[in-house]
Chain A
């Protein structure tokens, strides 16, 4: 796109102005039709212009962590929530702290409120834990040891993209499940003080038969966990919620999770990899299975840990060759491992919808909240800018536009109509695209963006002005209109492309790097810049070519804005002499002049 070579050959638009006009007309009709079909006839306005919903979150103080609610953690939380609700960066949500432990999230009208509430509140603590035991969700008979319940054939598989790891060494152990469990628990229980995860499932404890006091801490922990596991009823929502919550990553825990349509429960070992080890995550559709999955890319450290945990698991047997992916205490997926996965990539599958996969991808990418929050209140808020402000802005903008039109008419006369119609085309395209994007990607227009769009008028109009001035220069050279229009185009085109490229570069860099309102701005700038190029190429130039064939313009009518006399054109006679005595290149002149003749 940058600095194209001077066009010697005729461009497509030049030869077939009708075709270019047809393309842009179809685009306009399609966009307008799309707008009315989807009933998105106005762009979504930002919270400053339209108001929206205000969610107040309160940080929950957690036992044992009295200092957790501090400025640093609150600000981190604000940053993470900000990125979550602004997933695509153009929805203009506002997030700020209030007081010591509140966070206000303002989302503009028309945002999916339910989804936003889920997004802001979710802690997104993610851990990969080895599975020690699994059972169906209902409470088992008290004496039952965790049975190696054959995990269903539909169980997800962990897939590492990248190099195959070391082949799994066949496990030689023939020990019973119970012993493996005890052994597995030994390490963490020995280091972890008194009773791990004692507080979180009191409820389950109450129901459980009184545990027999065990001689050693290790045994006790294992027994305790087993008892809890046995008693856990994952079909009960309250128990489910309590099960895995608050488990420290270095401790073993019980957890619930959905497997297909039924609930399952797990005993899980200490976390091998944490969500903070994930560098990037995305919700994508798996083309082979046609289901939504979340792909993850680990940091270098995370990749090492992941390779280690999968390497260990691969040597074990069902269900202990599985690891569970635990999000906020709930198992979302429990893939089995057959080899160490060393590529640094992993994916999570299991019952995701498009929405949930993309949400989880966002949350993993943006990190877990350092605090957990409860929703204090959800209420509507009105626009901060009263209707009068917006009205004043629109009136002023309209007056400004009228002045522009008058100025163009006075200076360019007939040509001004081309400029004005081009601006109109540009306005229609911008408006319809913005309206459609409101639905599509949650694009919301705030007052600064409206002002930015008004400045964009200047940049768009500049393209026409550059072109018109070139045409006039050619006429001053003594050319008649039709060759002048064609000769002026390659030069004007280069100027337009080079300068628009700079604008677009600014937009692209800012869009990729920044967040929040700046990103929203970058989007508007990029869109208007692209549309400028589209309109000049597909509309202004072709219409100029067509109009150059009309008598009004080609005869240089005084009101056409192209009157050679007014422009001070050189007499044609001199021009021919000069062309003859040119420095012998004339390569630009000849083909173009001939072309339109």
Chain B
């Protein structure tokens, strides 16, 4: 702990810090690259939608002693797709497999008959419609739209419109990356995946809001001082909440990572994969974007303001004057000077 603890103290005092804002264009570049990759993957590979969304084939077997797990394995091996297997009350199996054309369906039927050791003629094949139909999907989209509008309004009121815009961009960034990963990996998209995406929607904004809250506090009364520019203060507030961000991300990612790597990987519980992958990627992207993308975006938007431009001028003029007087210039403004150096610590309240 002590190392990280020391780091926390140093970050707090501004003795160390990463120049998130100064190097923002590097990270913008990284994000754009990832996002483009995601979009290309999406366009080229497309999403592998599960049976719940587009329906598929359903096979009903005669009464059999084969277990659900065994049958699932067989069906997935036979078809190469995810299968939903249920045992009915009379001992027969209902096996649903997504995206099969009639020829494939027949081949799968033959294979299934061999694997499950039942006569092929007794397997009844039929088409099955989506259980997650257009109606559910449409309503989910409507809900998403309404939420986005409301949350932008809320953030614009609670913070300011620049932050609302930045938060929204970060959110879209996170969702694009997550969806893109599905296209790349080729995992089947299930209702679990969608639920995972929606969870990220909430979490990504949540995380951004926590970081913005620090920024808002840090930049309060900014025009009343001439020591730091807005971008310096923003950078400082990111560093001030960095320990919180790291800890929260670790705590959120540990259980999800365990689900993904131990549950889905080692223990071979395939169903967990498609849920936890979206959560894992999304949570990581959410934590990354609130620090590397959202806050720097606010800086970009904010520094266009005349008041902030004027402040920057004043700060630079003051520094130039100090240099001229022979005083040692403050190192980028991060070096803590003696005396009450107020705002820059990413904490308001001490001066108002």
Contacts and interface: CB of A to CB of B under 8 A. Distances in A.
Interface of A: 2-3, 6, 51, 54, 74-75, 78-79, 82, 94-99, 102, 104, 106, 379-389, 392-393, 395-397, 399-401, 403-404, 407-408, 410-413, 447-449, 451-452, 454-455, 457-459, 461-462, 465-466, 469, 472-473, 476, 491, 494-495, 498-503, 505-507, 509-510, 512-518, 521-522, 525, 566-568, 578, 581-583, 585, 587-589
Query: Is the contact region of chain B dominated by helix, strand, or loop, or is it mixed?
Result: helix
A462 B210 contact: yes
Contact of A518 (B68, B139, B248): B139
A96 B130 contact: yes
Nearest to A513: B143
A397 B129 contact: no
A501 to B, nearest CB: 7
A36 B96 CA distance: 38
Contacts of A2: 154, 157-158
Contacts of A588: 349-350, 352
Contacts of A472: 8, 12
Contacts of B222: none
14 contacts: A379-B88, A380-B88, A385-B271, A403-B255, A455-B199, A458-B256, A459-B206, A506-B147, A506-B202, A514-B136, A514-B140, A518-B139, A581-B340, A585-B351
**9 closest pairs, A vs B, by CB?**
A458-B252, A568-B9, A396-B263, A400-B258, A400-B255, A97-B129, A392-B269, A513-B143, A392-B267
Contacts of A501: 154
B89 A380 contact: yes
Given A6-B349, A386-B67, A400-B255, A455 B209 contact: no
A98 B128 contact: yes
A395 B251 contact: no
B55 interface: yes
B328 interface: no
A589 B350 CA distance: 8
Contacts of A518: 136, 139-140, 143, 194-195, 198
Nearest to A100: B127
Nearest to B142: A513
Interface residues of B, number: 103
Interface in B184-199: 191-192, 194-196, 198-199
- Which of A74, A448, A491 has most B Cβ within 10 Å? A448
A2 B201 CA distance: 19
B5 interface: yes
A489 B189 CA distance: 42
Interface stretch (B38-46, B115-123, B275-283, B306-314): B275-283
B158 A95 contact: no
B87 A382 contact: yes
B86 A568 contact: no
B133 interface: yes
A386 B72 contact: yes
Interface in B93-142: 94, 126-136, 139-140, 142
B248 A399 contact: no
B257 A98 contact: no
Contacts of B140: 510, 514, 518
B154 A98 contact: no
Contacts of B253: 458
Interface string B220-264: 000000000000000000001101100110111111111100111
B11 to A, nearest CB: 10
A198 B129 CA distance: 37
Contact of A411 (B1, B13, B132, B192): B1
Given A96-B129, A392-B268, A506-B202, A449 B195 contact: yes
B272 A389 contact: yes
Nearest to B258: A400
A201 B209 CA distance: 67
Interface string B260-301: 001110011111100110010001000000000000000000
A457 B250 CA distance: 11
Given A96-B130, A465-B248, A388 B69 contact: yes
B86 A583 contact: no
A51 B195 contact: no
Contacts of A510: 140, 143-144, 147, 198
B223 to A, nearest CB: 14
Contacts of A581: 339-340
Given A395-B267, A413-B1, A585-B352, 5 more contacts: A97-B128, A382-B86, A451-B192, A502-B202, A512-B143
Interface in B9-26: 9-10, 12-13
Contacts of B146: 509, 513
Contact of A517 (B195, B240, B256): B195
B84 interface: yes
Contact of A476 (B12, B194, B248, B268): B12
B217 interface: yes
- Which of B67, B136, B194, B207 has most A Cβ within 10 Å? B136
A104 B52 CA distance: 13
Contacts of A94: 131
A506 B136 contact: no
A389 B155 CA distance: 40
A274 B247 CA distance: 59
B78 interface: no
A401 B255 contact: yes
B87 A407 contact: no
B151 A505 contact: yes
B183 interface: no
Contacts of A514: 136, 139-140, 142-143
B303 to A, nearest CB: 24
Given A396-B272, A451-B275, A506-B202, A466 B255 contact: no
Given A396-B267, A404-B255, A407-B251, A515 B126 contact: no
A98 B133 contact: no
A2 B129 CA distance: 43
Interface string B136-179: 10011011101100110011011000000000000000000000
Given A410-B1, A521-B195, A75 B133 contact: yes
A96 B55 contact: yes
A495 B213 contact: yes
A503 to B, nearest CB: 5
Nearest to A526: B202
B47 interface: no
B174 to A, nearest CB: 14
A453 B71 CA distance: 29
Contacts of B213: 494-495, 498-499
Contacts of A388: 69, 269
Contact of A448 (B86, B126, B196): B196
Contact of B135 (A447, A457, A515, A589): A515
B226 to A, nearest CB: 14
B202 A507 contact: yes
Contacts of A568: 6, 9-10, 12-13
